[in-house]
Amino acid sequence: MILKLKKCTPLSLFSSGFSSHVHGRAVDVSSVDMEVFRAPFSGIFLGSEKVKIGRPNRHAQHDYDVISFIEVEGRKIKMLHVDPFLSPGQGFKEGDEIGSFISSPYTGGDFPHAHLEGVSLRISEVKTKVTSKLGRVMNVRNDSFDVKVIDFASAGKLHGMGIESGGMLNASYPFSCYGGVIGTSMLKGTSVTMYGTEIGKVASKRGSNVSLFEWKEGAIRRWDYDITFKVLRNEPMCGPPFMESVLSYDGYPLVRFFFRSPFKEGDEVDLSTFIGGALARLSLG
Look at strands 254-257 and 268-270 and give their pairing. Answer: unpaired
The domain defined by 26-117 folds into Glucose Permease (Domain IIA) (2.70.70)
Supply the pLDDT for residue 238.
83
Helix (H), strand (E) at residue 246: strand 243-249
Question: What gap in Å lies between CA 123 and CA 27, rounded to an integer?
Answer: 12
Supply the pLDDT for residue 30.
96
How far from 209 is each of 157, 220, 246, CA to CA, in Å? 15, 18, 17
The helix/strand/coil state of 280 is: helix
Question: What gap in Å lies between CA 244 and CA 109, rounded to an integer?
Answer: 10
Residue among 144, 83, 145, 91 at smallest CA distance from 114: 83
Burial environment of residue 81 by CB neighbours within 10 A (0 to 12, 13 to 18, 19 or more): buried
Question: What gap in Å lies between CA 117 and CA 124, rounded to an integer?
Answer: 21
Task: Indicate where the chain has its CATH 2.70.70.10 domain(s).
Answer: 26-117
Supply the pLDDT for residue 283.
54
Burial environment of residue 211 by CB neighbours within 10 A (0 to 12, 13 to 18, 19 or more): buried
Quote the DSSP letter at residue 281. Answer: H
Burial 178-196 (b: 16+ CB within 10 A, else e): bbbbbbbebeeeeebebbe
Supply the pLDDT for residue 285.
41
Torsion sign over Cα 219, 220, 224, 228? positive
Question: What gap in Å lies between CA 282 and CA 241, rounded to an integer?
Answer: 11
Question: What gap in Å lies between CA 43 and CA 24, rounded to an integer?
Answer: 22
Supply the pLDDT for residue 128.
78
Residue among 216, 157, 148, 206 at smallest CA distance from 181: 206
Supply the pLDDT for residue 39.
97
Supply the pLDDT for residue 89.
97
Sequential pLDDT tens for the chain (285 residues): 679 999 999 999 999 888 999 999 999 999 999 999 999 999 999 999 998 876 556 666 777 889 999 999 999 999 999 999 999 999 999 999 999 999 876 666 688 999 999 998 889 999 878 999 999 999 999 989 999 999 999 999 999 999 998 899 999 999 889 999 999 999 999 999 999 999 999 999 998 899 999 998 999 999 888 888 777 666 777 878 899 999 999 999 999 999 999 999 999 999 999 998 888 877 544
Q: Quote the pTM value.
A: 0.92
Question: What gap in Å lies between CA 226 and CA 217, rounded to an integer?
Answer: 12
